[in-house]
Structure 1
């Protein structure tokens, strides 16, 4: 049957909606099986928001009917916005339009005008996909009524959920419960649900994490199939792997991470080469163990990313992989995919190679250990034989940092915090985490590997995910400029600022007492970074024309997809035979962008 693209092109040329039989005649399709396949395709295109079906059952392209499809972002005050799949400004949805919608739903809306803030305003046409299945909230038992209430804990879920008293599992008033939605809201009626789990009293130890896991529907249990697959994985790297992986165990790779890290994604090694440097960034070879469409892969895709709580981790991969078989622990053989960069005297990458490899990390170093060494205190460093190699890395870091600043990448020095708990799982202390040169060194090496990977894959035109970041939208830029004017400041670039303009302003305000507030406003003016299969959109904040994520496949699913694309190219397979199509990557990009924000 004709492709989606051909059907859309045909309907756009037609200029008016056509019923199913008319479409079949135009496409000269007569066989009953083919007609049924066409009917299913049209329904799928309608479900995905590519087509809209009118009251006369005529199909037309959504784009041509002034319709916008996207994901709903609800506001705690009741109104919301539709973030368009095609980009551009968000569509404002009034409180009335939001009555039938819940946060995260995918919907199709009609543009009905411009509101008083000059925003596009939409009216709901169709709900394409429901996002919320279960809700965590506080139970409000009503003795004098057959119906009780559950108030969602998530402030973006504005609907109070009705629960019949015969379906509340004997929950007590004020307890935290999980409700399964059985009837979604309409313009006239609130949602209805049934309690499926009683989490407990709000003040119980660890309750905050339990609430967060369920509020944001974070997957936290492995499927039975995944548990079975884990039993068949090897415990160690074997000699057989030397048939497919090059032996790099003679090189003193090191990992540099936080003191409490368990999943070591990356190890680095650097040596002088002529007037430049040869950098090797070794990344855990997760793709060797996690194959497409396996249960392990499906669970990893569903999670999308590891989620880090102050005293708990929901890993993207089971601990047997994330903390053991894939983790680049010291003095044990591990499989890795090495990105090898030949970098010249000016910090430019001149050659990019990838090597499936077996490595053995020489040491598990912490940021504080390396920072003390770099600031001139080598006496307490526990691995003196590695000092020359770390000095090589530091010299390359200083070269790359100069190039970064010349490029105009935006640098905001934010203060992260670490939460310490007492024996009752209550917060005992919140302390700042100070970034030092060791943090920045590793960050710069990872950036170099990521941008090199993006360039290498772009040249091979294989479907993959890129990390894209766009500049400020016009309305956000206008708000920022008005804010800066009141402070006597100015952002260069007028209506089209470049990253360098942001970087120069950020440098200028460093001595001001309100520097944190200004940096926050600068950050909020920028769009959120997303995953898309478009290499040309680039990364505004980092000032790269193309960029991807390659360095963390243990904890980010897009990185695993990038590794699979690299291996497909290394095996000299035709792009057309790659497991993923461009359409697959579009869907995966949207999913992975969602999982990192939920």
Structure 2
């Protein structure tokens, strides 16, 4: 047998060493190459090295083409998620079947920790109890702790203080081992942040050091602060960052105008939400011989925020701005976002401009970029522009801007149709929820926002600019932070098809074209929203990458984020790259820098989305709690979005509030789920509920802390009398037993025993 060369052997050793790191998770070959910093010229060698190692049994290829060391005979690595009942569900890195982890077998593992477990031998369940569907395991060691800091409520006993975590899935109170000196004495019932100490003995308490006092738990402001801190964000900036921001100019200086293209004579305007305070994009439109010149001007934040400055480091840490129900947590200080960087009307501002030549049929035939000076002529909001499109007059919009909008509207319609019809971009209609706050800070009403044409007009302009910049960086073979959206995997396609079938839609999508065919079929149909949700929940999350993996949803081969440098850090990085390219300068970032920034921004975006959803869920649950107190219990129109073992997960039509209709509250029958968990059918009368069904429900219970909202079917007494089909005949000699309200039985009644003394 031919011996491998020393170079190949060296690469194999590097691979094994990298995979043996306890923090290593299975990676695909491209991701492994990036993680190991293997040059693109060596990718073929990496491929051959993995094949050789697999042949030798030293590595294995897992599901989704990921590579890892073979599992040892005794342990398996993966993520454990603790349920609200205290036991854990372990998902192996290899993606095989999940394991049930009993509460006592979690040892020192907390929710979402990466752990290694050992498989336990199968055991016979106690008499009268069903066998576990999943194999059982026991945690051997914690490989990576997910939660380093915990937010919770401070309490005291006569002997010690402890913190009750807000995240009830952590399952353990945290003993206060120390408090940072500058915090002093913290009163009871204050929300605090506690940094966890090392914990490797389950017979000793979990402990930590209190590092922050957020405030009293009854303070409404504290609730939102807790959500932010739980996801690793802070609302306030450090003194160092604020001091640096204060030194920024409030007006443009003569040196700021140097080396820029003067576009101040060009008609320019901004369109933003009415409540916006910072404006980072503006547009211009001019008629040219071969069509139109559409200019997208983006605030030149990079000019005022130097790389590696205190503001820049904080912006990278935050990754993006965060939009909670009652506040916006900005990525960079407001001294910059609302003043010198914001493209306010009637003042000179610095911008980075993308000029695109677009034909009458919507094709972008040329594009160029430049650092510019602009002068916005008007600040419009979406409602104004939509009213204009709907035929209303608005004297506040200058006549020249009205003329530009009327010319831009049909052009954008053509561009949008080209993107969706010809290129196959997905057009998912996902309404957004807006909580309207009253003077007391509580939610007065909840509105479901619809996508308006005015918003779509700006969206298309930004998409064009992002694509133009991505193409320019690609042609120059420069690195970039790419916005990627991967295609669904096989399991997602299968689940998407099952859920669509449950809705009565005869489709099994396997491509983007198949999805578009479904969307076209259900457009305007009552089940349109349900079909959109069935598709959306089975798509992967978009993220950032150093590699141009393409954007599945938008049908773009290469795509970057460039148009929001005030609120997204990847855009700021792309601005710096583009500026250096235009000035024939040195690349400001190395490939490994780009990879690290992409990973950080993907993580912070995920955390920010979770924080935003939690803030809406909290305020919305409080809203329904108040309605319950007032006796406003319904009925509400709802849609069944999921069928669970314990009941129907429903979503209210008007507010998208989710809740549970427990099967135990449906008293007409006992319901069983089908194999795909898309339908529940009564075993006695045959009535069924499935995904997409529209039902009427009444509000019965709200638990704000756990974010549980429970409903019952409206008119349950009348509903239970509507029996479908005939009851099955009872066989002679056998008693038929059907669960009724969870405990009652049909059949012969047991004889009452007399109490004999």
Residues 379-423 of structure 1 deviation map (CA, whole Å, 9 limit, x = unaligned):
545322311111222122111111122122112222222222233
How far the C-alpha of 1:334 sits from its partner, in A, is 0.7
C-alpha deviation, 1:556, in angstroms: 0.2
Residue in 1 aligned with 2:435?
419
Q: CA RMSD in A?
A: 3.8
Q: Is residue 2:341 matched to residue 1:315?
A: no
| Structure 2 residue aligned with 1:258 | 273
Paired residue for 1:533? 546
Of residues 584, 595, 598, the one that matches 2:604 is 595
Which residue of structure 1 aligns with residue 196 of structure 2?
181
Cα shift at 1:219:
2.6
Residues 1:562 and 2:565 are matched in the alignment: no
Question: Number of residues paired by the alignment?
Answer: 546
- Per-residue deviation, 1:550: 0.6
Matches within 5 A, 1:151-550: 151-155=164-168, 157-163=170-176, 174-184=189-199, 191-406=206-421, 407-493=423-509, 497-535=510-548, 537-550=549-562
Cα separation, partners in 2 of 1:471 and 1:44, compared to 1, 3 Å? closer
Task: Call closer, same or farther: CA 1:515–1:75 in 2, change over 3 Å.
Answer: farther
Q: Label 1:82 to 1:404 Cα distance change in 2 as closer, same or farther (>3 A).
A: farther
Deviations 1:173-227 (A, max 9, x none): 6543322223346666553123344434433232321221222221333233323
Question: Could you tell me whether the CA contact under 8 Å between 1:449 and 1:551 is conserved in 2?
Answer: yes
Distance 2:205 2:330 in 1: 35
| Aligned-pair CA distance for 1:92 | 5.6
Which deviates further from its counterpart, 64-73 or 425-434?
64-73
Correspondence 1:585 to 2:594: yes
CA contact (8 A) 2:79 2:115 kept: no
Where does the alignment leave 5 or more consecutive residues of structure 1 unmatched? 1-5, 19-41, 52-59
- Listed as ranges, the gaps of 5+ residues in structure 2 are 26-34, 37-57, 61-66, 123-131, 608-757
Which of structures 1 and 2 has the larger relative contact order (alpha carbons within 8 angstroms, sep 6+)? 1
Normalising by structure 2, report the TM-score: 0.65
Mean Cα deviation higher: 226-235 or 443-452: 226-235
* Cα 1:566–1:155 shift into 2, 3 Å: farther
Q: Is the 8 A contact 2:178 2:210 kept in 1?
A: no
Shift of the 250–7 alpha-carbon distance from structure 1 to 2, 3 Å rule, reads farther
The verdict on how the C-alpha distance between 1:157 and 1:332 changes in structure 2, with shifts beyond 3 A counting, is farther
Residues 12 and 61 of structure 1 are in contact (CA less than 8 Å); yes or no, is this contact kept in structure 2? no
Deviations 1:492-548 (A, max 9, x none): 55xxx222322221222233333323321211100111100111x111111111111
Alignment-derived partner of residue 13 in structure 1: 12
Q: Aligned in 2, Cα 1:8/1:125: closer, same or farther, shift over 3 Å?
A: farther
Query: Which range moves more in the overlay, 152-161 or 322-331?
Result: 152-161
Partners of 1:351 and 1:118 lie apart in 2 by 58
Residue 528 of structure 1 aligns to a residue whose secondary structure is: coil
Is the contact between residue 82 and residue 110 of structure 2 (CA under 8 Å) also seen in structure 1?
Answer: no
User: For residue 728 of structure 2, what is the aligned residue in structure 1?
Assistant: none
Aligned mates of 1:523, 1:572 — CA distance in 2: 42
Change (3 A) 1:15 1:229: closer
Q: 2-side partners of 1:198 and 1:94: how far apart?
A: 37
Return the offset for 1:466. 0.7
Which deviations, in whole Å up to 9, do the C-alpha atoms of 1:30-78 show, x marking residues without a partner?
Answer: xxxxxxxxxxxx9998877769xxxxxxxx9995524899996845445
Give the TM-score, by structure 1 length. 0.81
Determine if contact 1:254/1:365 at 8 Å carries over to the other structure: yes
The answer (yes or no) to whether the contact 2:564–2:571 under 8 Å persists in 1 is yes
How far apart, CA to CA, are the structure 2 residues paired with 1:16 and 1:375? 62
Q: State the SS of the aligned residue for 1:409.
A: coil
Superposed displacement of residue 259, structure 1: 0.5
SS of the residue 2:370 aligns to: strand
- The alpha carbon displacement at 1:83 in A equals 10
Structure 2 CA distance for partners of 1:558 and 1:476, relative to 1, 3 Å: same
Q: Which moved more, 1:460-469 or 1:194-203?
A: 194-203
Confirm or deny: 8 A CA contact 2:118 2:140 kept in the other structure: no
Structure 1 residues 187 and 588, CA gap change in structure 2 (3 angstroms): farther
| Residues 165 and 231 (structure 1), Cα distance of their counterparts in 2 relative to 1, 3 Å cut | closer
For residues 418 and 505 of structure 1, what CA distance do their matches in structure 2 show? 28
Q: Distance in 2 between matches of 1:297 and 1:82?
A: 37
| CA spacing shift, 1:375–1:175, aligned 2, 3 Å | same
Q: Distance in 1 between matches of 2:16 and 2:383?
A: 65
Structure showing greater radius of gyration is 2
How far apart in 1 are the matches of 2:541 and 2:229?
24
In structure 1, the residue matched to 2:565 is 553
Cα distance in 2 between the residues matched to 1:70 and 1:240: 57
Distance 1:479-1:572 versus aligned 2 partners, 3 A rule: same
Farther-moved stretch of structure 1 (289-298 vs 410-419) = 410-419
Distance (Å, rounded) in 2 between the aligned partners of 1:91 and 1:133: 28
Alpha-carbon contact 2:240-2:310 (below 8 Å) kept: yes
